[in-house]
């Protein structure tokens, strides 16, 4: 039985934040159509991927899935259970924005089956939030976490962004201190990425904002890693930290090169060595679902060489290369050939060898892309 | 033979040589207007783009003159850049006369003068032509005056022309017929044919372009070259029209070609004499000065596997460019490559560009340098064209470097700027003469090494483009020179070494270090950059280790994109050279050229 993950994309948002490059739209007029289309897509792939496979995670990403009514979430989860084998202890995550949810809605989500919530807080500093054009303020964010806890959620993540324009090391550390005070088991801390096509990108090109350089970013990042590890959050991926036992199973499917099947606009799936992706625009997705029963707009067969490179790339970003697992998949030739490179990285302190697992140290994570480039 | 005229055109760059040639071809019906790709003689793309003639060409025309006689005119084209002076002298030896083209706005320039002297030395009759007389900026009287001063000719000897508008073309043709003497020589004498150029044809082998000085060459003749003992049969003989036109015979005075199934282009050595095996002569025509490369640099393939391919490309290249010399070189930093000798920096650029275009070879070029003569303490002398080969400091008694005599023609208001530049470049002032009230001809002596990099560009910018330069090698002189080495993380990188004057070494050391700091991307380790003379470090800086390079997010939808980005970066990495732990981008090897 192959272990895999399920992903549902919810493209709706109350508004578009300046740094966001995900596909999302503000209109909610087509929500019903979208839910129906999702259900059709879920059934469409059932004959192809339901046999000798079980799914141990469901992830609602967006967009802002939490603006959907809980009964719609329940409807989708129900459709998934009907078509696929889902393990009894499946991790079912929903991304949430503070301010889109209240206690009764959260209780309803819990009843619908959600057992892990990821909260897009980004910062506890109101000026930062305003700059990012987030709809919530920091007190709302804090309240949301406490409410989640009261509703019985025991697996909570919060997202933070660092290296915001003008952010000092002290201000960032304060965010981290605030975060670890809350009853959360998982923290994602992302360095601000300037994505082309975002409003922020335009602002930077027009010199309306100044983003600090990589050296300062590196300083914030180093502080993040050491602060969170001192507070019991273990780094298991470039931007992800968790208390023991609380790593995100769904995301680990991506990083540990397991299959994932995804539904909705711009969703990417990776099944049996093939990757495909859906139309990203809602109208195209709906039309395509109506006409053909699926919404694939592109696909690629990953060649053995590409598979190797993706595996290495993802493993190094995650918890490292488990040499036994690696050798069982790809043989030992490459590892032997790269031994001198690895030795250099190990002795320079960029990597460590933990019981046959070649993994990054804090300084290694910071230059992970450079290391991957060197090795491949 | 009385109806035959062999001539060439000499001019400074851009004074309109190629356009004049086009008009002559058109007027004589050699090419129809319709077929006239602008500037017929510049048939390499690169020549047309850069507006310079790199190789000599020859073409035959027929002209019905005012005396109702039809004359055969052979035009032998010449390059107009200082790097290619030797090509000019080759062409001159095949002619009896020359058109001297002077731009009616620009006036006499450095190459006008130097090429004119070459032509006079070769005993040619000169027809002065003022071109572009119809431009609003033309100053016909003033420039005429310059030409009269220069040539000592009469006012009425100067032909006024505008190639663009077709003015004066008939007058030029009449002057060629009337003023240039027909060739001398005797068709019954033993054969003496001068090779003034050779081209390589993949199907026919090396083809010699020749000027028959004496005797007659017929197809089937067994021919012999003075430079070697190989005997060939003249398989095909003909004249050079728009294409090669077979005539079966060439007589004294003629310009044409001979095909002999000659596989090795070295067998058709430019300047060599051809004679027949039977009834041949033992008298060789005066050849050319052997062309000596003045600028040397290492060429290395970016990918080590491409070494053989680069050798093949250079071999092929040499078939059509006898001035290029090369031999294998091994660099600790760059691996296997070739040490190449060029006539000048432009020649180097052209070779590089043509290798890239015609042979599809990406190459790393190291810093160009001149050839030094090192006098060792043991009394021996060695020639050094590669800084890496410089003997140990303790073994060197002294070093001589080549000096050139440079001629700079400039509007007089820039004389001060030029003198300032010349001082920076260790120039030795000789004298100044005035071509007229506004134009000075300044003579300097320079170490060649000082003018091969950026002198020309700086000269142009300090004179707003008005000054022109020509130079020739004069002699070797003792100089206080040192080898400046660059160390990266304590390891000397041989390909970055250079020979500089001691007085400039500290300044250079600092500038090179700074430039390398800009060019070498930050890597995972600190990179110490040091400039050293022997064991003494004279300058240092460092590239700080890269502290952050990681994409924050990589989820299900990002993986393909991230992998593709990685593949692209891997390609980019191939263009870097790994020296020890340090990755050096190609452009760093020419860093010094970018220093002010």
- Residue scoring higher pLDDT (B32 or B467): B467
Task: Name the range with the highest mean pLDDT among A362-371, B70-79, B227-236.
Answer: A362-371
pLDDT at B51: 46
- Residue scoring higher pLDDT (A182 or A62): A182
Q: Is the pLDDT of residue B397 over 60?
A: yes
Q: Could you tell me which of B221, B349, B365, B345 has the C-alpha nearest to residue B279?
A: B221
Q: Which residues of B fall within a CB distance of 8 Å from A370?
A: 523-524, 546, 549
Residue B551 sits at the chain A interface (C-beta within 8 Å): yes
Strand ranges, E, within chain A: 2-10, 53-62, 86-96, 116-122, 156-162, 186-191, 234-237, 240-242, 259-263, 268-271, 274-278, 296-301, 321-322, 351-354, 357-360
Q: Is the pLDDT of residue B81 over 60?
A: no
Using a 10 angstrom Cβ sphere, with 0-12 exposed, 13-18 middle and 19 or more buried, the burial of residue B183 is: buried
Å between B570 CA and nearest CA of chain A:
7
CATH class of A304-375: mainly alpha
Size of interface A-B (CB pairs under 8 A): 94
Å between A110 CA and nearest CA of chain B:
25
B residues 483-542 near A, CB within 8 Å? 523-525
Q: Could you tell me which of A139, A2, A14, A6 has the C-alpha nearest to residue A66?
A: A14
- Give the start-to-end residue ranges of the domains of chain A: 2-255, 304-375
Q: Which residues of A fall within a CB distance of 8 Å from B550?
A: 238, 317, 365-369
Report d(CA B238, CA B210) in Å as an integer: 10
> Cβ neighbours of residue B518 under 8 Å, at least 6 residues apart?
none
Which one of A58, A162, A268, A311 would you mutate to disrupt binding with B, by most B Cβ within 10 Å of its Cβ? A268
What count of Cα atoms within 13 Å lies in the side-chain half-sphere of residue B306?
A: 20
Q: Is the pLDDT of residue B240 over 50?
A: yes
Strand ranges, E, within B377-504: 381-384, 396-411, 428-434, 439-447, 468-479, 481-488, 491-492, 498-501
Interchain CB distance below 8 Å, B552 and A238:
yes
Interchain CB distance below 8 Å, A376 and B549:
no
A201 to A23, A211, A214, A216: CA distances (angstroms): 16, 10, 16, 19
Interchain CB distance below 8 Å, A369 and B551:
yes
Q: Is the pLDDT of residue B52 over 50?
A: no
Q: Which residues of A fall within a CB distance of 8 Å from B551?
A: 193, 238, 369
pLDDT at B111: 76
Query: Looking at A113-117, B113-117, B394-398, which range is the least confident one?
Result: B113-117
For range B99-106, the mean pLDDT: 91
Pairing of strands B4-11, B97-103: parallel
pLDDT at A198: 81
Query: Which sign does the torsion angle of CA B212, B213, B218, B219 carry?
Result: negative
Interchain CB distance below 8 Å, B524 and A350:
yes
Å between B566 CA and nearest CA of chain A:
7
Q: Which residues pair with A24 in a beta bridge?
A: none
Q: Could you tell me which of B92, B111, B93, B89 has the C-alpha nearest to residue B102?
A: B111
Report d(CA A240, CA A249) in Å as an integer: 12
Interchain CB distance below 8 Å, A373 and B550:
no
Q: Which residues of B fall within a CB distance of 8 Å from A369?
A: 549-551
Å between B545 CA and nearest CA of chain A:
10
Nearest CA in chain B to A193: B552
* Contact indicator for B439, B376 with CB cutoff of 8 Å: no
Q: Which residues of B fall within a CB distance of 8 Å from A191?
A: 548, 552
Instruction: Take residue B213 and report the two structure tokens written for it.
Output: 């000085």
Residue B561 sits at the chain A interface (C-beta within 8 Å): no
Nearest to B563 among A306, A367, A371 (CB): A306
For range B512-531, the mean pLDDT: 93
Q: What is the ipTM of this complex?
A: 0.91
Report d(CA B450, CA B464) in Å as an integer: 21
* Contact indicator for A362, A222 with CB cutoff of 8 Å: yes
- B557-565's contacts with Cβ under 8 Å and 24+ in sequence apart are B557/A266, B557/A267, B557/A268, B557/A277, B559/A254, B559/A268, B559/A270, B559/A275, B559/A310, B559/A314, B560/A268, B560/A275, B560/A300, B562/A313, B563/A306, B563/A309, B563/A310, B563/A313
Q: Which residues of B fall within a CB distance of 8 Å from A317?
A: 550, 554
CA angle A146, A149, A152 (to 5 degrees): 155
Which one of B547, B571, B576 would you mutate to disrupt binding with A, by most A Cβ within 10 Å of its Cβ? B547
pLDDT in tens, A285-332: 999 999 999 999 999 999 999 999 999 999 999 999 999 999 999 999
Q: Which residues of B fall within a CB distance of 8 Å from A341?
A: none
Using a 10 angstrom Cβ sphere, with 0-12 exposed, 13-18 middle and 19 or more buried, the burial of residue B144 is: buried
For range B324-337, the mean pLDDT: 88
Interchain CB distance below 8 Å, A369 and B546:
no
For range A36-51, the mean pLDDT: 93
Which H or E run includes B562? helix B559-574
For range B131-147, the mean pLDDT: 91
**What's the full length of chain B, in residues?**
596
Q: Which residues pair with B328 in a beta bridge?
A: B338
Pairing of strands B236-240, B481-488: unpaired
Nearest to B553 among A190, A366, A371 (CB): A190
> Cβ neighbours of residue A336 under 8 Å, at least 6 residues apart?
none
Query: What's the predicted TM-score (pTM) here?
Result: 0.71
Nearest CA in chain A to B572: A373
Q: Could you tell me which of B218, B189, B226, B197 has the C-alpha nearest to residue B74?
A: B197
> Cβ neighbours of residue B492 under 8 Å, at least 6 residues apart?
B485, B486, B532
Q: Is the pLDDT of residue B46 over 60?
A: no
pLDDT at B56: 47
pLDDT at B262: 87
Å between B549 CA and nearest CA of chain A:
4
Q: Which residues pair with B10 in a beta bridge?
A: B100
Report d(CA A265, CA A280) in Å as an integer: 5
Query: What is the DSSP code string of B45-56?
Result: HHHHHHT---S-
Query: Looking at A44-48, A144-148, A215-219, B17-21, which range is the least confident one?
Result: B17-21
* Contact indicator for A285, A25 with CB cutoff of 8 Å: no
Q: Which residues of B fall within a CB distance of 8 Å from A190?
A: 552-553
For range B382-405, the mean pLDDT: 92
For range A346-368, the mean pLDDT: 94
pLDDT at A277: 96
> Cβ neighbours of residue B141 under 8 Å, at least 6 residues apart?
none
Report d(CA B532, CA B542) in Å as an integer: 14
- State the pLDDT confidence band at A27, using cuts at 50, 70 and 90: low
pLDDT in tens, A235-245: 999 999 999 99
Which one of A214, A237, A341 would you mutate to disrupt binding with B, by most B Cβ within 10 Å of its Cβ? A214
A115 to A119, A154, A185, A250, B399: CA distances (angstroms): 13, 8, 13, 13, 82
Q: Is the pLDDT of residue A140 over 50?
A: yes
Nearest CA in chain A to B570: A373
Interchain CB distance below 8 Å, B563 and A372:
no
Say what percent of chain B tops pLDDT 90.
45
Interchain CB distance below 8 Å, A367 and B556:
no
B225 to B206, B277, B286, B287, B441: CA distances (angstroms): 13, 9, 14, 12, 43
pLDDT at B222: 94
* Contact indicator for B206, B263 with CB cutoff of 8 Å: yes
How many other CB atoms are found less than 10 A from the CB of residue B22?
A: 22
pLDDT at B11: 84
pLDDT at B202: 77
Nearest to B550 among A251, A365, A376 (CB): A365
Q: Which residues of A fall within a CB distance of 8 Å from B546?
A: 214, 367, 370
Å between B234 CA and nearest CA of chain A:
59
CA angle B449, B450, B452 (to 5 degrees): 65
pLDDT at B301: 86
pLDDT at A13: 84
Residue B550 sits at the chain A interface (C-beta within 8 Å): yes
pLDDT in tens, B204-227: 888 888 999 999 999 999 999 988
Nearest CA in chain A to B550: A369
Report d(CA A98, CA B383) in Å as an integer: 78
pLDDT in tens, B454-467: 788 889 888 887 88
* Contact indicator for A278, A266 with CB cutoff of 8 Å: yes
Nearest to A370 among B524, B556, B570 (CB): B524
Query: Which sign does the torsion angle of CA B241, B243, B244, B249 carry?
Result: negative
Nearest CA in chain A to B526: A348
CATH architecture observed for domain A2-255: Alpha-Beta Barrel (3.20)
Report d(CA A209, CA A83) in Å as an integer: 48
CA distance from start to end of chain A: 31
- Residue scoring higher pLDDT (A40 or B308): A40
Nearest to B552 among A191, A270, A344 (CB): A191
Interchain CB distance below 8 Å, B524 and A367:
yes
Report d(CA B239, CA B6) in Å as an integer: 13
- Residue scoring higher pLDDT (B204 or B81): B204
Q: Which residues pair with A260 in a beta bridge?
A: A5, A270
Q: Which residues of A fall within a CB distance of 8 Å from B553?
A: 190, 193, 239
Residue B44, SS3 per DSSP = coil
Q: Could you tell me which of A370, A320, A341, A348 has the C-alpha nearest to residue A218?
A: A370
How many other CB atoms are found less than 10 A from the CB of residue B32?
A: 9
Å between B527 CA and nearest CA of chain A:
14
Query: What is the DSSP code string of A293-320?
Result: S--EEEEEEPPHHHHHHHHHHHHHHTT-
Nearest CA in chain A to B564: A306
State the residue for tokens 């060029």.
B342
Interchain CB distance below 8 Å, A310 and B559:
yes
pLDDT at B85: 58
Say what percent of chain A tops pLDDT 70.
98
């Amino acid at each position: 039985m192959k272990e895999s993950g399920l992903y549902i994309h919810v493209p709706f948002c109350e508004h578009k934040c300046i740094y966001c490059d995900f596909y999302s739209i503000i209109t909610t007029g087509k929500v019903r159509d979208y839910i129906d289309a999702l259900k059709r897509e879920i059934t469409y792939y059932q004959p192809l991927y339901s046999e000798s496979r079980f799914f141990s995670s469901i992830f609602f990403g967006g967009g802002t899935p939490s603006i959907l009514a809980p009964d719609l979430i329940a409807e989708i989860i129900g459709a998934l259970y009907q078509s696929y084998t889902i393990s009894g202890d499946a991790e079912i995550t929903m991304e949430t924005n503070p301010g889109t949810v209240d206690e009764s809605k959260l209780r309803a989500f819990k009843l619908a089956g959600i057992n892990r919530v990821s909260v897009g807080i980004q910062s506890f500093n109101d000026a930062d939030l305003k700059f990012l054009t987030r709809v919530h303020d920091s007190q709302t964010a804090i309240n949301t976490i406490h409410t989640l806890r009261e509703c019985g959620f025991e697996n909570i993540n919060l997202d933070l962004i660092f290296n915001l324009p003008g952010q000092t090391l002290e201000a960032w550390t304060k965010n981290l201190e605030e975060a670890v005070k809350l009853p959360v088991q998982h923290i994602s801390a992302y360095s601000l990425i300037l994505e082309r096509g975002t409003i922020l990108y335009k602002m930077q090109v027009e010199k309306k904002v100044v983003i600090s350089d990589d050296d300062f970013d590196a300083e914030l990042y180093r502080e993040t890693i050491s602060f969170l590890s001192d507070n019991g959050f273990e780094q298991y991926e470039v931007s992800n930290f968790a208390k023991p036992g609380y790593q995100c199973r769904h995301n680990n499917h991506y990083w540990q090169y397991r299959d994932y099947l995804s539904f909705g606009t711009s969703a990417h799936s990776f099944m049996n060595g093939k990757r495909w992706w859906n139309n990203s625009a809602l109208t195209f997705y709906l039309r395509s679902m109506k006409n053909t029963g699926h919404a694939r707009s592109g696909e690629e067969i990953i060649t053995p060489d590409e598979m190797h490179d993706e595996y290495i790339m993802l493993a190094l970003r995650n918890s490292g290369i488990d040499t036994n697992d690696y050798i069982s998949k790809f043989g030992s030739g490459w590892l032997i050939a790269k031994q001198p490179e690895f030795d250099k990285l190990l002795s320079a302190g960029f990597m460590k060898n933990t019981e046959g697992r070649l993994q990054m140290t804090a300084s290694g994570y910071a230059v992970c892309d450079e290391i991957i480039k060197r090795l491949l | 033979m009385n109806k035959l005229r062999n001539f060439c055109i000499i001019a400074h760059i851009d004074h309109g040589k190629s356009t004049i040639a086009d008009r002559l071809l058109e007027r004589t019906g050699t090419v129809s207007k319709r077929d006239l790709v602008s500037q017929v003689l510049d048939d390499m793309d690169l020549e047309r783009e850069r507006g310079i003639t790199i190789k000599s060409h020859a073409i035959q025309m027929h002209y019905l003159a005012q005396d109702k006689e039809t004359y055969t005119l052979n035009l032998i084209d010449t390059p107009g850049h200082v790097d290619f002076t030797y090509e000019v002298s080759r062409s001159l030896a095949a002619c009896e006369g020359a058109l001297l083209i002077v731009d009616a706005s620009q006036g006499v320039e450095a190459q006008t003068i130097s090429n004119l002297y070459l032509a006079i030395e070769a005993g040619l009759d000169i027809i002065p032509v003022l071109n572009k007389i119809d431009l609003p900026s033309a100053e016909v009287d003033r420039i005429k005056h310059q030409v009269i001063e220069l040539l000592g000719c009469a006012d009425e000897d100067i032909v006024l022309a505008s190639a663009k508008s077709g003015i004066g073309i008939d007058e030029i043709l009449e002057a060629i017929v009337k003023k240039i003497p027909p060739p001398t020589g005797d068709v019954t004498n033993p054969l003496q044919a001068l090779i003034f150029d050779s081209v390589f044809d993949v199907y026919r082998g090396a083809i010699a372009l020749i000027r028959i000085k004496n005797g007659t060459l017929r197809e089937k003749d067994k021919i012999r070259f003075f430079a070697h003992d190989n005997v060939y049969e003249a398989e095909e003989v003909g004249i050079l029209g728009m294409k090669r036109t077979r005539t079966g015979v060439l007589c004294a005075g003629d310009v044409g070609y001979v095909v002999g199934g000659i596989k090795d282009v070295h067998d058709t050595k430019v300047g060599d004499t051809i004679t027949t095996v039977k009834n041949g002569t033992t008298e060789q025509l005066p050849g050319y000065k052997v062309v000596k490369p003045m600028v040397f640099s290492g060429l290395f393939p970016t990918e080590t596997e491409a070494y053989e391919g680069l050798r093949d490309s250079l071999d092929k290249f040499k078939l059509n460019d006898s001035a290029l010399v090369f031999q294998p070189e091994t660099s600790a930093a760059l691996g296997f490559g070739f040490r190449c000798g060029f006539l000048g920096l432009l020649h180097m650029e052209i070779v590089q560009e043509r290798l890239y275009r015609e042979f599809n070879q990406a190459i790393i070029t190291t810093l160009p340098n001149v050839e030094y003569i090192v006098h060792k303490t043991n009394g021996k002398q060695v020639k050094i064209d590669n800084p890496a080969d410089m003997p140990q400091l303790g073994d060197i008694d002294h070093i001589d470097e080549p000096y050139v005599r440079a001629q700079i023609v400039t509007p007089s208001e820039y004389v001060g700027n030029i003198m300032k530049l010349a001082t920076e470049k260790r120039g030795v002032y000789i004298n100044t003469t005035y071509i007229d009230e506004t134009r000075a001809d300044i003579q300097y002596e320079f170490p060649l090494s000082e003018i091969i990099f950026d002198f020309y560009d700086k000269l142009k910018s300090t004179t707003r483009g008005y000054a022109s330069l020509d130079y020739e090698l004069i002699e070797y002189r003792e100089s206080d020179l040192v080898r400046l080495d660059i160390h990266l993380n304590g390891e000397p990188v041989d390909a970055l070494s250079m020979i500089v004057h001691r007085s400039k070494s500290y300044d250079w050391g600092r500038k090179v270090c700074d430039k390398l700091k800009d060019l070498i991307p930050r890597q995972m380790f600190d990179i110490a950059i040091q400039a050293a003379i022997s064991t003494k470090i004279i300058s240092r800086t460092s590239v700080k280790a890269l502290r952050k390079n990681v994409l924050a997010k990589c989820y299900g939808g990002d993986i393909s994109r991230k992998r593709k980005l990685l593949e692209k970066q891997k390609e980019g990495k191939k263009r870097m050279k790994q020296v020890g732990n340090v990755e050096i981008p190609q452009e760093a090897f020419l860093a010094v050229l970018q220093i002010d």
